[in-house]
């Protein structure tokens, strides 16, 4: 496989699917040299002048970054851009996405982020139609928040429109959907609308596991489970409105599916904290010291207190109404 994006095989073939960003962390017993050797290929590894995300050292080969020399509990971390993903597939013996992801899962890696892009170059999608649906509420989504935007560059001649987009989901949530006019952003001719499904932590792990089993063709169904644009009907329940024709044509004849994400148990809080928040806490400690860490803990205790208060209030209200 040469890194070209595989066509959606769920029905009408209009969406091109590709991994646009991928991050994972190896188990603690895996060294940076092990990772370097396992991801070896054409081109030399180049050392970075500085680390990132709490790691003191980093090396890069094309669109592949290996971060290491962090705290003892951080492990070796890998970041792969869209071009890096195409690079890895082109270098793989069979060039298959499923086999590559399966091999990583077999090594016990923990995926912390995956962005999958679905590109429409056939003109099926229109940002104006999408933004109109959002404004009118003609969609069903698992997200409680959306942000629409038009970006303009102001010149001496006149303002120039350089971006149209809508983001579903909060930046701190485990999943988001970002839709934007890629042609406008890239100043490219023709029609090009990109839909990105961005998942983190447990949801990222679940999507990678599903892709390892089913390939990229599972992505439209997963996206359908997060977001679908609809056409109003007489039914009072919005989630029973029919899906609008252009969204169906874009995704193909696929059934919506939900990722199987195990709930995070309280006993796993330390594991979750080490895997996801350790770099941020390290930066807070470096900049603010013990006072910064204490402020984080105080804010956490305040939120836990508020959450506990809401649960108690809900329980008392339920008891009264009963």
Instruction: Return the H-helix or E-strand segment holding 276.
Output: helix 269-276
Every domain of the chain and the residues it spans: 15-257, 267-321
Distance CA 286, CA 109 (A): 28
Contact yes or no for 237/246 (Cβ under 8 A)? no
Dihedral over Cα of 295, 52, 174, 197: its sign: positive
Phi, psi (rounded to 5 degrees) for 67: -110, 135
Digits of tens for pLDDT over the chain (322 positions)?
Answer: 333 444 443 333 456 889 999 999 999 999 999 999 999 888 899 998 888 889 999 999 999 999 999 998 899 999 999 999 999 988 877 657 888 999 999 999 999 999 999 999 999 999 999 999 999 999 999 888 888 876 666 666 666 656 789 999 988 888 999 999 999 888 888 999 999 999 999 999 999 999 999 888 899 999 999 999 999 999 888 888 999 999 999 988 777 777 866 555 555 566 667 666 777 888 888 888 888 888 888 887 777 765 555 444 444 444 333 3
Distance of CA 51 to the CA centre of its chain: 23
Structure confidence at residue 11 (pLDDT): 36
């Amino acid at each position: 496989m040469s890194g070209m994006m595989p066509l959606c095989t769920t029905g009408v073939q209009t969406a091109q699917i590709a991994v646009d960003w991928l991050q994972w962390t190896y188990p603690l017993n895996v060294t940076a040299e092990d990772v370097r050797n396992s991801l070896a290929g054409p081109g030399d590894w180049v050392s970075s002048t500085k680390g990132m995300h709490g790691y003191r050292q980093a090396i890069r080969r094309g669109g592949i970054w290996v971060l290491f020399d962090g705290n003892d509990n951080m492990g070796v971390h890998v970041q792969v851009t869209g071009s890096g993903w195409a690079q890895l597939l082109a270098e793989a013996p069979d060039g298959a996405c499923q086999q590559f992801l399966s091999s990583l899962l077999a090594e016990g890696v923990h995926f912390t982020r995956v962005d999958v892009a679905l590109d429409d170059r056939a003109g099926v999608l229109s940002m104006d139609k999408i933004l109109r649906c959002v404004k009118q509420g003609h969609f069903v989504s698992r997200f409680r928040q959306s942000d629409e935007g038009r970006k303009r560059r102001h010149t001496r001649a006149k303002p120039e429109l350089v971006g149209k987009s809508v983001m579903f989901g909060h930046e701190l949530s485990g999943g988001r959907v970002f839709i934007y006019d890629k042609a406008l952003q890239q100043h490219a001719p023709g029609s090009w609308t990109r839909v990105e499904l961005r998942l983190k932590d447990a949801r990222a792990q679940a999507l990678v596991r599903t892709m390892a089993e089913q390939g990229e063709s599972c992505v439209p169904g997963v996206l359908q489970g997060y977001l679908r644009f609809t056409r109003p009907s007489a039914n009072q329940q919005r989630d029973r409105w029919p899906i609008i024709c252009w969204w169906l044509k874009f995704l193909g004849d696929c059934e919506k599916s939900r990722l199987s994400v195990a709930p995070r148990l309280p006993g796993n809080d330390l594991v979750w904290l080490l895997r996801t928040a350790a770099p941020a806490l390290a930066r807070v400690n470096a900049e603010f010291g013990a006072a910064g860490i204490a402020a984080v803990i105080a804010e956490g205790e305040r939120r836990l207190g508020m959450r506990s208060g809401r649960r108690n209030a809900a329980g008392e209200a339920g008891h009264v109404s009963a």
